[in-house]
Amino acid sequence: MQYVLASQSPRRRELLSLILDRFEVCPADIDETLNPQKPLREEIVRLAAGKALEAAKTHPDAAVIGADTLVELDGRVLGKPHSPEEAAQMLSLLSGRTHRVLTAAAAVLHGELRTALNVTEVDFRALAPQEIDRYVATGEPLDKAGAYGIQGKGAVLVAGIRGDFYSVMGLPVAQLYLLLRGMGALPG
């Protein structure tokens, strides 16, 4: 069976390799604007599904996987920061607080779409302004939702999590494995 990941994220590639030995990467270009009138849970699943469905158009016989992640604090979505200053602002907001990371995965095989959603709570310890500045200076926060990478230097910011570590990285590995197995894309 051919497998396609509809994402250019290096973290998702790394995580998908825990399930699959071989797959093609074919990033999907979709409008990722969130509808503020809809619940975040629905929107994140819609985006993951949209990526998988878009890539499936050019790979109709493959199992196509899409995913999306967002960080939410008090109903506010913290996406990827556009500048070091915005990264520092996000980290200041997260400091000493608990936020949620929502990660959706979607798979399309022979026109059938299945989705999974994971919500993980992440506790940040209280951060001193100079800690935030040092972390932002590494450049790591600039391509990460919520301005941190739990699997990298941002690990020192996290006091604890309740949920799936891999989802915080960007792909709910166990849920995706079960989803693919359930649709016949992996052996039982």
User: Whose CA is closest to 12, among 170, 148, 119, 147?
Assistant: 170
Domain residues of the chain, as ranges? 3-182
Residue-wise pLDDT tens digits, 62-71: 999 999 999 9
| CB count in 10 Å sphere of residue 169 | 22
Please provide the size of the chain in residues. 188
Is residue 31 part of the annotated active site? The answer reads no
Helix %, strand %, coil % for the chain, to 5?
Answer: 40, 25, 35
**Quick one: pLDDT band at residue 143, thresholds 50, 70, 90?**
confident
Phi then psi for 29, rounded to 5 degrees? -105, 100
What is the C-alpha separation between 157 and 27, in angstroms, rounded? 30
Q: Which of 68, 74, 133, 164 is catalytic?
A: 68
Do 125 and 96 touch, CB atoms closer than 8 A?
A: yes
pLDDT > 70 in the chain, percent:
100
What is the C-alpha separation between 136 and 127, in angstroms, rounded? 12
Residue 149 pLDDT > 90, yes or no? yes
DSSP type of residue 132:
H
What is the C-alpha separation between 118 and 41, in angstroms, rounded? 9
Q: Evaluate whether the domain defined by 3-182 bears CATH number 3.90.950.10.
A: yes
Mean per-residue pLDDT, 73-97: 96
The pTM of the full predicted model, rounded to 2 decimals, is 0.94
